[in-house]
């Protein structure tokens, strides 16, 4: 373990999270962990110095949970990727998505996961993991078959369907950093496809009619097609990927401007969706799942609320898994709506308009500090079992933060 203190030349580089609104949170020290043994040593150091500790993979947490004034565990050196002839892929907990896609593609494989190139694989997986292949293959955590975890007492366990199966259940969707420090993950990889990336664009004046058509079409589209929707101050855009010939369905009648890139490798397609994406925006976010379409009057109010709207379709393989099969409880939703922007009040105003029509469920990877009944929102009927497992695996509540299963330290 390399211990990086505030006077070290690497300190400022390593402490900065991906989201700049948490840039002022300064850890007492940073433990760079290159192995499971380093994580054990870091936990021991935290106990001996009475420092709270926080693991960090990618640092993208909307609630700033991957930042701390205590000991930050930098897991980025744990980034190796190996593949067995059976198609099982072992990935270090510090790997970022861009390197995961490139590394697996060398073997003709991939996993269903998100688009952000610097997002960490561990945090994404532990909170569920939505992505362009999700309607075909399920959540990222649905492809997880094993994980290595350092528990609060320093013991190391490997969990899967047969060993520590209750912990394995909890790791698939409860949210990151709740039960221990995950150092590696094993996935049942899927074929890395050639695919078509599409973008359909309209002037913003057409946003209401595009949203209406999208709500009745995208969640029920064939599994091989994922079409997300975003509305900003200038335009409305439906974008995504298809593994077959692209068919815009009822959206074609709305005469969009169409941009297609066919026969892209999966890493290239993923990279094309993050082209020109800024790194330094301060973005506030609130979101909820929906089981029914938003009515037209609510959509009209949302379009006047002053923030960006991002719709993600569910359905497909996401919804074919029982609610209690994994910790991720949100298996009956049609879509996710995120309200995002630099103005926190506008985001809250937009969320409050849509909230009356939402299911009340919240994606664990989009944590919301404003939530009051967060156990129900994040975990639904799976909360009682998760609470009991927290007591079993972390009785001292070492891994705690606001809205964590054990509460705050």
Tokens 């150092």 sit on residue: 183
Do 217 and 238 fall within a single domain?
yes
The DSSP bridge partners found for residue 335 are: 290, 313
pTM of the complete model? 0.97
400 domain-assigned? no
What residues form DSSP beta bridges with 230? 237, 310
Q: Which pLDDT value is given to residue 406? A: 82
Residue 225: both structure tokens together: 């097609």
Say if CB 310 and CB 228 are below 8 A apart: yes
Whether residue 97 sits in one domain with residue 14: no
DSSP symbol at 140: G
List, for residues 14-72, the tens digit of each pLDDT value: 999 999 999 999 999 999 999 999 999 999 999 999 999 999 999 999 999 999 999 99
Same domain? For 237 and 267 the reply is yes
Structural domain count of the chain: 3
Q: What is the pLDDT of residue 274?
A: 81
The label of the residue with tokens 């694989």 reads 121
- Measured between alpha carbons, how far is 17 from 24 in angstroms, rounded to an integer? 10
Does 243 lie in the same domain as 156? no
For tokens 């949970």, name the residue.
65
Q: Domain containing 41 — which CATH number?
A: 3.30.43.10
Domain identity same for 85 and 60: no
- Cβ(357)–Cβ(297) below 8 Å: no
The CATH number for 91's domain is: 3.30.465.10
Q: How many CB atoms lie within 10 A of CB 397?
A: 15
Q: For residue 228, what are the domain limits?
A: 195-376
In a domain, 352, yes or no: yes
Is residue 145 one of the residues assigned to a domain? yes
Residues 217 and 317 in one domain: yes
The radius of gyration computed from the CA coordinates of the chain, to the nearest angstrom, equals 21
Same domain? For 278 and 163 the reply is no
Q: What is the CATH number of the domain that holds 233?
A: 3.40.462.20
Cα 289 from Cα 74, distance rounded (Å): 32
Residues 344 and 199 in one domain: yes
Q: Does the residue 43 lie in any domain?
A: yes
CB atoms within 10 A of CB 359: 16
Task: Give the pLDDT confidence score for residue 281 in this predicted structure.
Answer: 75
Question: For the chain (length 409 residues), average pLDDT per consecutive 10?
Answer: 96 94 96 98 97 95 94 98 97 98 98 95 98 98 98 97 98 95 98 97 98 98 98 97 96 97 96 73 92 98 97 98 98 98 96 98 96 97 98 95 82
Do 187 and 199 reside in the same domain of the chain? no
In a domain, 140, yes or no: yes
pLDDT of residue 277: 57
Cβ pair 58, 118 in contact under 8 A? yes
Of the candidates 74, 98, 123, which is a domain's last residue?
Answer: 74
**DSSP string covering 203-227:** EGGGHHHHHHHHHHHGGGS-TTEEE
CA–CA distance from 121 to each of 179, 259, 311, 360 (Å)? 17, 29, 22, 26
Report which secondary-structure segment, H or E, holds 336: strand 335-341
- Name every residue whose Cβ is closer than 8 Å to that of residue 103 and which is 6 or more positions away in sequence: 81, 95
Q: d(Cα 288, Cα 376) in Å, to the nearest integer? A: 12
Residues 199 and 343 in one domain: yes
Asked, for residue 219, whether it belongs to a domain, the answer is yes
Please give the backbone phi and psi of residue 371, each rounded to the nearest 5 degrees, phi first: -65, 140
What is the rounded distance in angstroms from the CA atom of residue 345 to the CA atom of residue 306? 9
State the Cα–Cα distance between residues 336 and 356, nearest whole angstrom.
Answer: 14
DSSP for 255-313, written as a single string: --EEEEEEEE-HHHHHHHTTTT--S----EEEEEEESSPPPHHHHHHHTTSSSEEEEEE
Q: Are 201 and 181 members of one domain?
A: no
Domain co-membership, 66 together with 103: no
* DSSP for residue 363: -
Token reading at 232: 């900003």
Q: What are phi and psi of 150, to 5 degrees?
A: -95, 115
Rounded Cα distance between 241 and 236, Å, is 17
- Percent of residues in the chain assigned helix, strand, coil, to nearest 5: 30, 25, 45
């Amino acid at each position: 373990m390399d211990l990086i203190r505030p006077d070290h030349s690497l300190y400022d580089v390593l402490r900065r999270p991906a989201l700049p609104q948490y840039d002022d949170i300064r850890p007492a020290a940073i433990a760079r962990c290159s192995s499971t043994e380093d994580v054990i040593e870091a936990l021991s150091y935290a106990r001996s110095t009475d420092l709270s500790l926080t693991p960090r993979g990618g640092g993208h947490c909307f609630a700033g949970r991957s930042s701390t004034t205590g000991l930050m565990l930098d897991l980025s050196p744990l980034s190796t990727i190996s593949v067995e002839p059976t198609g099982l892929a072992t990935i270090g907990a510090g790997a970022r998505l861009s390197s995961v896609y490139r590394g697996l593609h060398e073997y003709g494989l991939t996993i269903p996961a998100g688009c952000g190139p610097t997002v960490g694989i561990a945090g994404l997986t532990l909170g569920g993991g939505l992505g362009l292949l999700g309607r075909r293959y399920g959540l990222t955590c649905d492809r997880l078959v094993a994980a290595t975890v350092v528990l609060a007492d320093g013991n190391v366990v490997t969990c899967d369907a047969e060993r520590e199966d209750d912990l394995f259940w909890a790791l698939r969707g409860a949210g990151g950093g709740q039960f221990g420090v995950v150092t590696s993950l094993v996935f049942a990889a899927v074929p890395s496809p050639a695919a078509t990336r599409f973008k359909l664009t309209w002037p913003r004046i057409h946003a209401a009619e595009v949203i209406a058509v999208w709500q009745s079409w995208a969640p029920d589209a064939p599994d091989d097609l994922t079409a997300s929707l975003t509305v900003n101050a200038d335009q409305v855009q439906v974008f995504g990927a298809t593994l077959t010939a692209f068919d815009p369905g009822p959206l074609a009648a709305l005469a969009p401007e169409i941009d297609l890139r066919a026969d892209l490798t999966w890493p290239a397609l993923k990279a094309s969706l993050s082209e020109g994406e800024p790194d330094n925006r301060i973005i506030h976010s609130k979101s909820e799942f929906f089981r029914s379409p938003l009515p037209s009057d609510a959509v009209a109010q949302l379009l006047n609320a002053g923030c960006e709207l991002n719709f993600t379709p569910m359905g497909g393989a996401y919804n074919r898994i029982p609610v209690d099969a994994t910790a991720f409880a949100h298996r009956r939703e049609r879509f996710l709506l995120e309200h995002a922007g630099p103005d926190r009040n506008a985001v809250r105003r937009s969320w409050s308009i849509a909230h009356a029509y939402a299911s009340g469920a919240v994606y664990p990877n989009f944590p919301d500090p404003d939530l009051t009944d967060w156990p129900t929102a994040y975990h639904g009927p799976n909360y009682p079992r998760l609470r009991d497992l927290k007591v079993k695996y972390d009785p001292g509540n070492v891994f705690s933060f606001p809205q964590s299963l054990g509460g705050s330290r």
